[in-house]
Amino acid sequence: MIEFRQVYKRYPTGQLALYNVNLTIHAGEMLFITGNSGAGKSTLLKLIALLETPSKGNVLVGNMPLTHLNPRQIPSYRRKIGFIFQDPHLLYDRNVFDNVALPLLISGMPLPDIKRRVNAALDKVGLGRKTKSFPLMLSAGERQRVGIARAVVNRPTIILADEPTGNLDPELAQDIMYTFAQFNDLGATVLIASHDHGLVERMKKRTVVLQRVEL
């Protein structure tokens, strides 16, 4: 379970991004976060991933306030989380397999295990036949799928996606959403920030609307 308790976020510039957010996300839920540009969608996801910290209030994951994690616990906490960005930020001089293997290589996993995990992740996103392709040989939708495979290769229990379909045409966007729904069916908690209302409505999941703070 992920809980926001009276969470405020003000950036050092003085910009207030979140104002008194109270939200409970159940384990295994798939939730959409919508709202206009600047409403704080990315900020909310970043607080869960510990890429930012709240100015006030608490974010709890599995009943643990994230502010209570000590620095040595943070890497293992982060491994529970897969983060997908609008732009997948792939390494263009590495093939698909190597891009997805990267987080596992960094964690020091033995090579045979890496191969098994990477192939499984690529199969799940429908790219099992493209392991040797380089990113420039792929379509935008396929590149986004590589980013998703890389985010899930560690088998995260929480998947956070920030405008994952922003650069894609409607059909590809719908496909990507179904891919997230499959990971949710397998038990992951999935949070997706999106301003594509039509797409979000079609998925028929709980949706939280953030409003831009005018203070």
Ligand X SMILES: Nc1ncnc2c1ncn2[C@@H]1O[C@H](COP(=O)(O)OP(=O)(O)OP(=O)(O)O)[C@@H](O)[C@H]1O
Per rule CB under 6 A, is residue 200 in the interface with ligand X?
no
| Residue 89 and residue 147 in contact, taking contact as beta carbons nearer than 8 Å | yes
Per rule CB under 6 A, is residue 42 in the interface with ligand X?
yes
Per rule CB under 6 A, is residue 48 in the interface with ligand X?
no
For the purposes of burial, counting CB atoms within 10 Å of the CB of 165, is it exposed (0-12), middle (13-18) or buried (19 or more)? buried
Which residues does 215 contact at the CB level (< 8 Å), separation at least 6?
16, 19
Task: Please identify, among the stretches 30-38, 92-100, 114-122, 167-175, the one whose residues bind ligand X according to the rule CB under 6 A.
Answer: 30-38
Per rule CB under 6 A, is residue 165 in the interface with ligand X?
no
Which residues does 16 contact at the CB level (< 8 Å), separation at least 6?
8, 9, 10, 213, 215
Give dist(CA 124, CA 154) in Å, integer.
13
Minimal distance in Å, beta carbon 205 to ligand X?
18
Q: Tell me which of 195, 203, 207, 208 binds ligand X, using CB under 6 A.
A: 195
Minimal distance in Å, beta carbon 208 to ligand X?
12
E strand or H helix at 175? helix 170-185
Give dist(CA 151, CA 160) in Å, integer.
9
Per rule CB under 6 A, is residue 147 in the interface with ligand X?
no
Per rule CB under 6 A, is residue 161 in the interface with ligand X?
no
Q: Tell me which of 40, 57, 88, 103 binds ligand X, using CB under 6 A.
A: 40
Minimal distance in Å, beta carbon 81 to ligand X?
17
Per rule CB under 6 A, is residue 38 in the interface with ligand X?
yes
Per rule CB under 6 A, is residue 41 in the interface with ligand X?
yes
Per rule CB under 6 A, is residue 70 in the interface with ligand X?
no
Give the full edge-to-edge strand order of the sheet including 56-61: 16-25, 2-10, 56-61, 64-65
Minimal distance in Å, beta carbon 39 to ligand X?
4
User: Which residue from 76, 74, 22, 75 is spatially nearest to 44, judged by alpha carbons?
Assistant: 22
Binding site for ligand X (CB under 6 A): 11, 13, 15, 17, 35, 37-43, 195
